[in-house]
Amino acid sequence: MLEVSNLACVRGDHRLFAGLSFSLSAGELMQVQGANGSGKTSLLRTLCGFIMPEAGEVCWRGNDIRELEEEYCAELVYLGHLNAIKDDLNALENLRINAGLAGCAIDDKRAVAALRRMGLLGKELLPVKVLSQGQRRRVALARLLVSDAPLWILDEPLAALDAGAVDLMQELIGEHLSNSGMLIFTTHQPLQVAGVEIRSLALS
Amino acid sequence: MNKLSLSSLLVLVIRRDLVLALRRRADVLITLIFFVMVVSLFPLGVGPEPEMLRKMASGVVWVAALLASMLSLGRMFSVDYQDGTLEQMLLVPQSLSVLVLGKILAHWMVSGLPLVLMAPVLGLQFGLPMQSLGVLMLGLLLGTPVLSMIGAVGAALTLGLRGGGVLVSLLVLPLCIPVLIFGSGAVEAAASGMNYASHLSLLAALLVLALVLTPWVTAQALRISME
């Protein structure tokens, strides 16, 4: 499904990685590992198409993502370091707008259900600026629940989450993979998904 | 799952930006107050002779509108850039150009439309006759969206740069000169009893041209800035 061949990335004068090749098929989970500054985020952003690779190509279902453009975007959920939520809006508005930007209209019922599952019961109508860092992350992660895109690209999804939320994420990832989803992520915390082997990709 | 159509994406973006603007009213008011203040300073500076004021009114209002519209350009994309929303916007599966058009229209409603509505009051202050007031308003109605659109390109190009706010004015102001010339030209033509329709037609042509080109150019500029 997702094939990366001979990928190279240069930021400024610094070569982060070169000759990187891997492929990911339905139901697979891949963790990108590496020290700080080894290019994990740059790799994920290249896979999203934000960064033009120095060499090599990223293919989705056999076609270069540069040619697919919007078709590829429809099958992808990306969550970066930044939560992409607005402080002035409440959790429900944030989720509905983010789902809208991702191309799907959801009703209030579905959005509220997603927020409750993320453990935000009673916080749906509070402005996000009064929530804690971990709760904001949960609002951002709720987007995963309302999307049916097969490819998830998550940059440090567990940052700021407590143990309960980490368990919940593992459960969500398990469900996503069993629906023949795919996931590429980075994390510095241990993550286990029942019945799935985590492939790892080391950047040096 | 219902896939959003292009028009509902446009509505979603406009509504989002308007709600955000409503929750931060100070940003909206600053543009308007700046506009009123700059225009009101001129009579104090050049003296209260009605004939001279009437003659310079259209130019003063237009230049002030131009400067006021520069004020809010910096915020057009930078807020979304800082909290990561812009990354999500670049991944929109319908069309980035349509999304950008929505943001431009919302920006105009917040920073351009109030200027259009305020202009007749300021025109009265300068003793402009009724017909000139109408032409001034009509010109601003056609011209301020063009300012927002050209400004969007500049704002996208300077995204994330240090001192981007000043840079964007230097970049955009020269490109706005045609709008200024035809806008204030229309009022002068109306005041001297000549045909002002040609000036307004040219403004409308600029508007159509900008409407077609700038959303796409801005979308490309955003992709480059995010790399």
- Give the domain ranges of chain A: 85-147
C-alpha span between A51 and A16 (Å, rounded): 13
Residue A196, Cβ neighbours under 10 Å: how many? 16
- pLDDT given at position B219: 94
Give a yes or no: residue B1 inside a domain. Answer: no
* A&B contacts, CB < 8 Å: 83
For chain B, which residues lie within 8 Å of any Cβ of chain A, measuring from their own Cβ? 1-4, 8-9, 12, 16, 19-20, 23-24, 82-85, 87-95, 99, 223, 226-227
Which spans in chain A are helix H? 40-48, 65-68, 70-73, 91-101, 108-117, 133-145, 163-178
Residue A179, Cβ neighbours under 10 Å: how many? 11
What percent of chain B clears pLDDT 70, i.e. is strictly above it?
99
C-alpha span between A87 and B109 (Å, rounded): 22
Give a yes or no: residue B48 inside a domain. Answer: yes
Tokens in use for A100? Answer: 């809208």
Give a yes or no: residue B201 inside a domain. Answer: yes
Please state the pTM of the whole predicted model. Answer: 0.91
Q: What is the tens place of the pLDDT at every residue in B105-144?
A: 999 999 999 999 999 999 998 988 988 999 999 999 999 9
**Contact present, A114 and A145 (Cβ < 8 Å):** yes
A104 and B CB contact within 8 Å: yes
Q: Are A88 and B24 an interchain contact pair (Cβ–Cβ within 8 Å)?
A: yes
C-alpha span between B13 and B221 (Å, rounded): 19
Span B185-189, average pLDDT: 92
Phi, psi of A199, rounded to the nearest 5 degrees: -80, 150
Whole-angstrom CA distances from B76 to B158, B168, B202 are 11, 11, 27
Phi, psi of A14, rounded to the nearest 5 degrees: -100, 125
Give a yes or no: residue B54 inside a domain. Answer: yes
CA distance A33 to chain B (A): 22
Please list every residue in chain A whose beta carbon sits closer than 8 Å to the beta carbon of residue B93.
70-71, 73-74, 102-103
Host H or E run for residue A153: strand A151-155
Give a yes or no: residue B96 inside a domain. Answer: yes
A70-90 burial: b if 16+ Cβ within 10 Å, else e: eebbbbbbbbbebbbbbbebb
Host H or E run for residue B21: helix B6-23
- Window 40-99 of A: residues touching B by CB (8 A cutoff) are 48, 50-52, 70-71, 73-74, 76, 78, 80-89, 93, 97-98
C-alpha span between B123 and B142 (Å, rounded): 17
Give a yes or no: residue B134 inside a domain. Answer: yes
> Which domain, by its residues, includes B75?
6-226
In the block, tokens 């607005």 appear at: A86
Tokens in use for B60? Answer: 């003063």
Q: What is the tens place of the pLDDT at every residue in A5-35?
A: 888 888 888 888 888 899 998 888 899 988 8
C-alpha span between B223 and B22 (Å, rounded): 28
CA distance B149 to chain A (A): 21
Close Cβ partners of A59 (under 8 Å, ≥ 6 residues apart): A2, A3, A4, A5, A65
Nearest CA in chain A to B20: A88
Q: What is the tens place of the pLDDT at every residue in B2-57?
A: 677 888 889 999 999 999 999 988 888 999 999 999 999 998 998 888 888 888 89
Sign of the alpha-carbon torsion through B103, B104, B107, B109: negative
Q: Are B92 and A104 an interchain contact pair (Cβ–Cβ within 8 Å)?
A: no
Tokens in use for B55? Answer: 């003659």
Phi, psi of B189, rounded to the nearest 5 degrees: -60, -45
CA distance A158 to chain B (A): 17
Q: How many domains does chain B have?
A: 1
Nearest to A182 by CA among A150, A141, A144: A150
In this complex, which of A83, A103, A148 lies closest to B4 when CB atoms are compared? A103
Q: At what angle do helices B50-71 and B177-191 cross, to 10 degrees?
A: 150
Host H or E run for residue B35: helix B25-46
Q: Tell me if ipTM is over 0.85.
A: yes
**Mean of the per-residue pLDDT values of chain B:** 91
C-alpha span between A74 and A92 (Å, rounded): 22
Nearest CA in chain B to A127: B23
Nearest CA in chain B to A110: B1
Sheet with strand A151-155: strands edge to edge: A76-79, A151-155, A182-186, A29-33, A198-202
- pLDDT given at position B14: 94
Ranges under pLDDT 50 in chain A: none
Host H or E run for residue A17: strand A14-24
- pLDDT given at position B2: 60
Q: Are B93 and A74 an interchain contact pair (Cβ–Cβ within 8 Å)?
A: yes
